[in-house]
Amino acid sequence: MASKGFFSHGLPPMSWELGACSGSGLTLSQLRFTIAFVASVAVGAILRHVPTVKGRHIFSLVAGFLLIYYPFGNGTFHALIPSLAAYVCMRRFRRSCGLLAWLVAFPYLILAHVMQASGAAWKEGQFDFTGAQMVLTLRLIAVAVSYQDGACPPGQLREYAARKRLLQLPSPLEFFSYLFAAGNLLAGPFFEAHDYKDYIERKGEWDESDPAKRIPNPLLPGLARFVKGCICAVLWMKLSQPYGADLLESKYFQQEVGLPHRLFLLWIVGLAARCKYYFAWAVAESSLIFSGLCYNGRNADGRPLWNRYINSRIRRVEFNASLPNLAANWNVCTGLWLRHYVYERLTPVDKRPTFATLAITQLISGIWHGLFPGYWLFFATSAIMFEAGKAIYRYEQGWPPRVRRFAPYVVLKVAFNALILNYAASSFIVLWLSDCLAIWRSVYYCGHLAILTIIAVGMVLPPRKPKRDVKPEKAAAAAAAGKVDGVEAAPAVPAVPVGMPVAPVLATAVEKKEL
């Protein structure tokens, strides 16, 4: 249960709220969060029609703060402490403000996790500001690092960092408007300060003087995404009671049913947990679509694209035939943050990433989620899981295409990947070390044995590299693009559900036109 200090005091409960809680089975914090979350869609729609740049900044900041304050109360003011500290660092110490923002924002988030025991509180349905603080931490680090990058020549930066760097210090209004952004702290997704500024000012890819960049009517795609979120919410409410974390911790699961039944229950419990995040992200995406921030230009046929900040693709997660590609489809935007602000920053420009780079990124992702063993067990397991996926991929490159695409083999891979994902994700759901180990022990550690066996076979019997007739100029172009044999060198780093509606993954090769 969340503590009852300054973090949790806010608006006293009203009679209609208590009645709604008793009728719906939701806790007060869940009810308020849901109301604020749905209201953020309307706020996004209004933001698109505010006529002036300053007006859009003010509306976004004020509405965003109120939407956060309603469910989280005085805990919202904790956003001001690391935010003000980061802004002072940006004003006074430009060439090191990115590092200083890390040293301010990340420890403050860890303190919030410790004070609230956030993971355990979220399992009980008690939401606090810590979830929003997680999103805020991503933004504080990103905006400070981007401003620090603005003092560097573009040639010293990776292509993405050169595009997203900030040449000028944001004003206090611009800075806090970006941080609160019309209630987007409720569930994300993460987006860059550079993009947000261009959107508010209708510049760059939102330049209203260019008909191709003018924001079209978002009504139908916004409603479609909102309905998608509502369907996921209904599934979550129907499945979470009979198939929640308590089931995995029960004697029934661990002792009274056979192995095939346990594996099935692992899958359906994982699906129920993921529906919560599908709901949260779909509604958040709906808000961004209605605001126009999610507008991503037009395709070759002239059809508007609304996929700039798509955070998950349900079919590609649930029916995934490649473990590494899972990362490109689950919490994509936070994954991009991990990629560009952790993974690539740990890798020298002229070097290839190593497993140590992957492990450190996973560790940071785990700490970002909270200080529970289940988080860390998942991220440690997922690092091995994706190494196994890469080993399978290397073997497949030596097979004829008709074998790789053979329908029964593809179905087998989808089933295997679902088994491994839900096996690993069970630790993220139950959190406590003893419960995690008891669940894995009840299925004989089959997930770990499977992925470790694949890696061991790949080391003992490495696959032969396929022979390819690659022209020198094409090989040089691939090397310059950071690819090996046509495949991007950087491995994927996923992360599964968080106690609040946000969780990170490190997406593979996801640029805006691929989202």
Mark whether 369 is an active-site residue: yes
Count Cβ atoms below 10 Å from residue 410 Cβ, excluding itself: 13
Count Cβ atoms below 10 Å from residue 99 Cβ, excluding itself: 15
Phi-psi group of 93: left, alpha or beta (phi > 0 → left; psi -120 to 50 → alpha; rest → beta): beta
311-338: string of b/e by CB count within 10 Å (b at 16+)? bbbbeebbebbbbbbbbbbbbbbbbbbb
CB 379 within 8 A of CB 450: no
- Burial class (CB within 10 angstroms; exposed 0-12, middle 13-18, buried 19+) of 93: middle
* Full DSSP string of 192-209: -HHHHHHHHHT-GGG-TT
Pick from 350, 355, 391: which is nearest to 479 by CA? 350
> From the candidates 9, 57, 369, 448, which is the catalytic residue?
369
Query: Rounded to whole angstroms, what are the CA distances from 486 to 278, 392, 475, 478, 481?
Result: 32, 17, 9, 6, 9
Pick from 187, 76, 196, 203: which is nearest to 142 by CA? 196
Tokens of 357: 């780079």
Three-state SS string across 271-286, please? HHHHHHHHHHHHHHHH
Where in the sequence numbering do the catalytic residues fall? 369
